[in-house]
Amino acid sequence: MGSYTKKNLKTEVENQAPKFDMPPEMEVRFARTPLGGETLGLSLMKLAPGFRIPFGHKHEQQEEVYVVVRGSAQVAVEDEIVELSEWDAIRFDKNTMRAVEAGPEGVEYLAFGAGEDPRDAEMVPNWWGAQKST
């Protein structure tokens, strides 16, 4: 017989942003461990209106998908800016640097990843600001 784990992402998964010294304009709920995921990661991200994540990141061993569930955003993907609206999904290959900026009404999105090591992330502070112009 199979098993499952059910969690409410907003009430049963802790906002980890303060623990990682992230700005108050970010809410980050990493659900992999609360859900008991072994290779599947799921995060709920919420950004205040016009807020840009202060770092770019990529994963060496996993691809990732973002799905916008509320609001809009721009995503810097390597050298390109991609506009996202509600229910848009965007997939990133392994080793693809990206950063997100919320639209005028803010953004909430789900991030799905698959990989053995949940710490597989390279983060570059001020990546968008240093690499991109808006």
Number of neighbouring beta carbons within 10 Å of residue 58: 20
pLDDT at 124 over 60: yes
Q: What is the pTM of this model?
A: 0.88
Residue 80 counted as domain residue: yes
Residue 48 lies in a domain: yes
Could you tell me if residue 3 is inside a domain? no
Residue 86 within a domain: yes
Angle at 84 between CA 42 and CA 119, to 5 degrees: 30
What's the CA gap between 56 and 1, in Å, rounded?
41
Q: Is there a contact between 17 and 26 (Cβ–Cβ < 8 Å)?
A: yes
Q: Look up the CATH number of the domain holding residue 101.
A: 2.60.120.10
What is the SS3 assignment for 131?
Answer: helix
CB-based contact 43:31 (threshold 8 Å): yes
Give per-residue pLDDT as tens, 15-60.
999 998 889 999 999 999 999 988 888 999 999 999 999 998 998 8
Cα separations in angstroms, 101 against 35, 46, 54, 62, 123: 27, 11, 9, 22, 16
Structural domain contains residue 109: yes
If one counts the domains in the chain, the total is: 1
- Domain with 23, as residue range(s), is 17-131
